[in-house]
Structure 1
Amino acid sequence: MVKKTKVLIVDDHPLFREGIKAIIGRSPEFEVAGEASDAQTGLQRASECRPDIALVDISLPDQSGIDLTRTLKSVLPETHILIVSMHSKMGYIIEAFQAGAIGYLVKESAGDGLLKALGCIVKGEFFLDNSVSRAVVSKILKAADKEVYVADTDYRSLTTREQEILRLLVEGLSTKDVGNRLYISPKTVENHRTNIMHKLQAKSPLDLVRYAARIGLIDIDHWKGEDP
């Protein structure tokens, strides 16, 4: 009997996990070895079942999936990480690969693309969702130039979650919108914003926008042209 590739699912949405398990269950090559709804449990499950592949969502309730990816790669370097996320922006994709992920799949493509992604990853090949635009791929290829600006010491002092929230705030999202996007409460967003402003020594939201423009997170000319 051919040994199946073990897959761990780390996602806080039960229905999504059930859908993923159903898709994997149709394949003779893969099997679900465990599942978790948060990063801490995910790390514990991974240590127990030592999966060949871990499917990790970015927006987890206790920790960013990108931080979890870094931890998993440090303790289980042989485990391949596939990020499965609702986010398709360049920043998330770059961070995921930099953290050690070998694949990135957008959730809306999971139905058709999951087994294809797993097939690539089990062979040690990188996988990038077809739904990611050519423009994003082009920017990823030029990420080395972008990283010069984002390598700012103060920015690196922020946690991955704080960096994630900073990007959304300077794009103009309200704390409520950020909370909805990341599945956290507006109060939690406000607490993160307070910490971010303290670390960056910012006195106002405008200071955050200016800072983000200075390090290249946003295009300040584009931001000026938007409605307040």
Structure 2
Amino acid sequence: MELMIVDDHPLFREGLKTIVNRDDKYTVVCEAGNGTDGIRLGKRHQPDIMLVDISMPGKNGIQMIRELKRSLPQTRFIIISMHSEADYIVEAFRAGASGYLIKESAAGSLMRGLDTVARGELFLDDALSQEVVFRLMQAKDEQSAGRDPYTTLTAREQEVLRLLAEGLSAKEVAAQLFVSPKTVENHRTNLMKKLGLHSTVELIRYAARLGLIDLDTWAI
């Protein structure tokens, strides 16, 4: 099976390739250092499995998976991340990931994860807590019941959400989207109401749970 690795740390990518190359079943055909290149090269090479980090320059891993799932429905995605919080893991599987590995345990679990996902099954790192399993089941129930509020946002509201969460002011968002600040404020009011959010801090944390931004960069 053909693999692609998307991670912004070259040494970590080399480590993954070293592990993968021990098994004849898998071949690394491509690698990328950010989500934007991951999307471009993923569409070109159409690998069977992609190993993806979450926190990267440009588009993060969860955004990348969401976009590629539409054009590469047969490709399976395994997140390999330093983040072990339930929110990140739930959003990764919601986006379309088939597996989730913690970086510190990747050396021992990678091949088992690859084999599991290659069989069409889901893989969850043994290091993850039972809370994650509970949250995943809860998220699945909510999604099947159509209660995922993010899906109710328009494409423009999703864009405004991401830019505001990145710390841009309404004026800066307006300049970037070529609209008026009043329009941005209207989008902000609408999306906050749809998501049940009441402050900028809540908006930032919500965006982080979706994987739209990295909460580690914020002191909140």
What is the TM-score with the length of structure 2 in the denominator? 0.71
- Preserved CA contact (<8 Å) 1:7 1:32: yes
Q: Name the count of aligned residue pairs.
A: 186
CA contact (8 A) 1:66 1:160 kept: no
Task: Tell me, in whole angstroms, the C-alpha distance in 2 between the residues paired with 1:26 and 1:160.
Answer: 45
Q: Which residue of 1 aligns with 2:149?
A: 151
1:35 Cα deviation after fit: 0.2
1:58–1:84: 8 Å Cα contact kept in structure 2? yes
| Equivalent in 60, 65, 88 of residue 64 of structure 1 | 60
* 3-state secondary structure, aligned to 2:27: strand
Match of 1:191, SS state, is coil
Which residue type is aligned with residue 79 of structure 2? I
Give the aligned partner of residue 127 of structure 1.
123
Aligned to 1:207: 199
Q: Find the aligned partners of 2:202 and 2:30 in 1 and give their Cα distance.
A: 44
Decide whether aligned partners of structure 1 residues 99 and 59 sit closer, same or farther in structure 2, where only a CA change above 3 A counts.
same
**Alignment partners' CA distance in 1, 2:81 and 2:12:** 11
For the residues of structure 2 that align with 1:77 and 1:212, how far apart are their CA atoms?
A: 30
**TM-score, with structure 1 as normaliser:** 0.69
- Among candidates 157, 162, 167, match of residue 190 of structure 1: 167
User: Counterpart in 2 of 1:9?
Assistant: 5
Gaps of 5+ in 2: 174-183, 193-197, 210-219
Give % identity. 37
Greater relative CO, 1 or 2 (CA 8 Å, sep 6+)? 2
Aligned to 2:31: 35
Q: 1:213 to 1:100 in 2, by over 3 A?
A: closer
- The residue number in structure 2 matching 1:142 is 138
1:160 to 1:90, Cα distance in 2 relative to 1, 3 A:
farther
Structure 1: unaligned runs, 5 residues or longer: 167-188, 218-227
